[in-house]
Amino acid sequence: MNDADVAEDKDWAELEPNFAIKVSLTIVYCVILLTGIVGNGITIRVTQVLQRNGYLQKNVTDHMVSLACSDLLVLLIGMPVELYSATWFPFTSASGDASCKIYNFLFEACSYATILNVATLSFERYMAICHPFRFKALGKEHTAGLITLAWVTAVIIALPLLFATGMEGHVPERADGPVQNLTFCTNLKEQWTMYRVSIFMAFILYMAVMVGVVFMCWAMIVVLKQTMGPAGGAGNPEGMPKHESSRVKTAKKQTILFLVQPTTGDPKQPQKLRDLFYW
Question: Distance between CA 117 and CA 150 in Å, rounded?
Answer: 6
Q: What is the pLDDT of residues 185-229, one digit of tens each?
A: 777 888 888 888 888 888 888 899 899 999 998 988 888 888 775
Please tell me the pTM assigned to this model: 0.70
Question: Distance between CA 67 and CA 113 in Å, rounded?
Answer: 8
Residue 90, judged by CB atoms within 10 A of its CB (0-12, 13-18, 19+), counts as middle
CB 35 within 8 A of CB 79: no
Q: Is the pLDDT of residue 31 over 80?
A: yes
DSSP 191: G
Q: What is the pLDDT of residues 125-184, one digit of tens each?
A: 888 888 888 877 776 778 888 999 999 999 998 998 888 888 776 555 555 555 556 677
CB 92 within 8 A of CB 181: yes
Rg of the chain on CA atoms, in Å = 27
3-state secondary structure of 151: helix
Q: What is the pLDDT of residues 55-111, one digit of tens each?
A: 878 888 888 899 999 999 999 988 888 888 777 776 655 566 788 888 889 999 999
What's the pLDDT at 53? 85
